[in-house]
Structure 1
Amino acid sequence: MGIKVFIFTFMISSLFFSLLFIPTLLTRPTNSTKFYQIKSTNNISQSLNTYPVKFAYLISASKGDLNKLKRALISLYHPNNYYLLHMDQSASKTEHQSLAKFVSSDPVFTQVGNVWVVGKPNSVTYRGPTMLATTLHAMAMLIRSCDWDWFINLSASDYPLVTQDDLIHAFSDLPRDLNFVQHSGHLGWKLSKRGKPIIVDPGLYSVNKSEIWWVIKQRALPTAFKLYTGSAWTILSRSFAEYCIWGYDNLPRTLLLYYTNFVSSPEGYFQTLICNSEGYKNTTVNHDFHYITWDVPPKQHPRSLGLRDYRRMVLSNAPFARKFKQNDLVLAKVDHELLRRRKGKFTYGGWCSKSKDKDGTCSRLSDDLGVLKPGPGSRRLKVLLTKILSERNFRRRQCR
């Protein structure tokens, strides 16, 4: 029985590896992957090169998330960054078409050409490795397509608490090799509930979406590497992202095969990989840059945030928060007080501060493209960075 289970799980893992890495290595973002981009003009490209750092975003969504995804994109948008939008297979054809039309019809997106849509979406199963596969796929496409300093993965239920000018300004003086990965080597109950069970995600091989299923026989804990766990939301350096994709010493591939049959692999893969890598374990900052609250005792999902959480969100100094219900009143408060964003318009930034909009809204490019105008959010974020990068916190909280 044990041999049969091993052979079966190995075959599933091998299939997962080939589906993820071979297309990633052999294809570019062309019509074969339906990876759509509108090219920016030379003048715009030259102006964008004056910004100190660039971010590449993956924003993921599922069925029913279209409006949340649109709002998240507009609130996070900055011509300096890159945005890859992925709406998984569970969404209807109408939702996919509406998203593509939304991006292609916006004049700013058209001028700059930095918002991309995955036209051939992946199937994503909650708690399965398909979410991890989607993240790695996005990283591979963004690495091949553009230059950036940090990769940020978010969902449509996330929302920023600072402007992108604030984020760019706060990160401008940081070493480019830092990786913001919330992690812990003390798994506690997760050792038996996550480390030992073997699961199979039908999303790897089936067109129809279904829940993961569990193999009866469990496996021993690994001895070739130490398991770590943490938040699925990370900010990864380009160097580490390239290491994840290319796997210079084979550790990324080894762990990918292991985590194919692991429950909630997005909460462990990057943590275990970076903390077992000699070249990157000292680059970790133990924070996910999110404000998240949980019920007591904690449930499967974090608690939805509302107006009563606003003050604590701001005081956390975090640049992002989750999760939010669609059009919750607290989002309007964040727009007005933190982002200087009006309904249907972009978040305020130097890139649009001198546009011809008479009402002072941010909806088009201005002559100040390339100029940063950070505000209070930058100061709050720098307070957080100073704290977590202090000698007391930075080295002592790394991969133990």
Structure 2
Amino acid sequence: MVHSALLLVSAAYLFCRSQRVQPIIVDAGVYLAGRNQFFQATEKRDTPDSFKFFTGSPWVILNRRFVEYCIFGWENLPRTLLMYLTNVMLPLEGYFHSVACNSDFRNFTVNNDLRYMIWDNPPQMEPHFLNVTHYDELVGTGVPFARKFKENEPLLDKIDDQVLRRWHQRPVPGAWCTGRRRWFSDPCSQWSNVNIVRPGPQAEKFRTYINQIMEESKSGNNSCKQ
């Protein structure tokens, strides 16, 4: 099977079956609207031996070939996993990971979700909130996304000012801005070709970062770990 691109499926480690797969979770919105998000059945179910369950980040990048496989499922694995994971806690953290790691796509995965986060050790349900003390490390990584932020977090203002060069309540300037920057005028109030794109320093860091994780994937360090 030939794949046109790699899959970014982060941290696809084996599920803890007794906690994440065997409990039967029911969407409470069907029965108890306005009360709980879900409730758990009193009994548990056995797990099949024909495939293994994997979990990871809910943010994934999937190539066309893999998405077609999930839709058509020529050997029925995607459909079987879809039915089984309908009643598990946080199915988005397991479905694509389990499909990829139980199929021929297992050798085309990359253990990365392109996000900067600070976790406890061992990780808890949510990462720490980021603040200005994390600025240097965050910007230095080259990753395009990060979480979590509190409302009106000063770190976001610092990123706007020093990375994006964005004026307050104004769009991020680009090569299409043809006006001169003055304290009383916005250079983007005059513009020509909006399709002009020139990579800045952070874009170059991002390219280096992507090249690095692609090289790591070629070394066999894929995300289907058991």
2:77 aligned partner, one-letter code: L
User: Structure 1 residues 209 and 232 mapped into 2: Cα distance closer, same or farther (>3 Å)?
Assistant: farther
Deviations 1:45-69 (A, max 9, x none): xxxxxxxxxxxxxxxxxxxxxxxxx
Q: Which protein has the larger Cα radius of gyration, Structure 1 or Structure 2?
A: 2
Match of 2:178 among 337, 341, 354: 354
Deviation at 1:313, TM superposition (A): 0.9
Task: List alignment gaps of at least 5 residues for structure 1.
Answer: 1-174
Cα distance in 2, alignment partners of residues 361 and 210 from structure 1: 50
User: Structure 1 residues 208 and 249 mapped into 2: Cα distance closer, same or farther (>3 Å)?
Assistant: farther
Cα distance in 1, alignment partners of residues 198 and 186 from structure 2: 15
Aligned to 1:273: 99
Aligned to 1:184: 12
Deviation at 1:256, TM superposition (A): 1.4
Aligned to 1:263: 89
Deviations 1:256-312 (A, max 9, x none): 11111111111111111122222x333311100000112345332111111111112
User: Structure 1 residues 336 and 221 mapped into 2: Cα distance closer, same or farther (>3 Å)?
Assistant: same
Aligned to 1:210: 36
Q: Does 1:377 align with 2:193?
A: no
Matches within 5 A, 1:334-353: 334-350=159-175, 352-353=176-177
Would you say the 8 A contact 2:165–2:172 is kept in 1?
A: yes
Cα distance in 2, alignment partners of residues 377 and 225 from structure 1: 41
User: Structure 1 residues 369 and 355 mapped into 2: Cα distance closer, same or farther (>3 Å)?
Assistant: farther
Q: Does 1:300 align with 2:125?
A: yes
Equivalent position SS for 1:311: helix
Deviations 1:23-62 (A, max 9, x none): xxxxxxxxxxxxxxxxxxxxxxxxxxxxxxxxxxxxxxxx
User: Structure 1 residues 371 and 282 mapped into 2: Cα distance closer, same or farther (>3 Å)?
Assistant: farther
Instruction: Tell me the TM-score normalised to structure 1 length.
Output: 0.50
Match of 2:54 among 210, 217, 228: 228
Deviations 1:232-262 (A, max 9, x none): 1122223333443454543322211111111
Equivalent position SS for 1:236: coil
Q: What is the number of residues matched between the two proteins?
A: 221
Deviation at 1:393, TM superposition (A): 5.8
Equivalent position SS for 2:62: strand
Deviations 1:169-197 (A, max 9, x none): xxxxxx9622211033344xx23211221
Equivalent position SS for 2:212: helix
Match of 1:250 among 46, 58, 76: 76
Deviations 1:51-110 (A, max 9, x none): xxxxxxxxxxxxxxxxxxxxxxxxxxxxxxxxxxxxxxxxxxxxxxxxxxxxxxxxxxxx
Cα distance in 2, alignment partners of residues 394 and 204 from structure 1: 47
Would you say the 8 A contact 2:55–2:98 is kept in 1?
A: yes
Would you say the 8 A contact 1:281–1:399 is kept in 2?
A: yes
Matches within 5 A, 1:87-98: none
Aligned to 2:25: 199
User: Structure 1 residues 378 and 282 mapped into 2: Cα distance closer, same or farther (>3 Å)?
Assistant: same
User: Structure 1 residues 243 and 205 mapped into 2: Cα distance closer, same or farther (>3 Å)?
Assistant: farther
Identical-residue share of aligned pairs (%): 37
Matches within 5 A, 1:1-400: 177-187=5-15, 190-203=16-29, 208=34, 210-278=36-104, 280-350=105-175, 352-354=176-178, 359-360=185-186, 362=188, 366-390=191-215, 394-400=219-225
Instruction: Tell me the TM-score normalised to structure 2 length.
Output: 0.83
Deviation at 1:209, TM superposition (A): 5.9
1:180 aligned partner, one-letter code: L
User: Structure 1 residues 226 and 355 mapped into 2: Cα distance closer, same or farther (>3 Å)?
Assistant: farther
Cα distance in 1, alignment partners of residues 71 and 31 from structure 2: 22
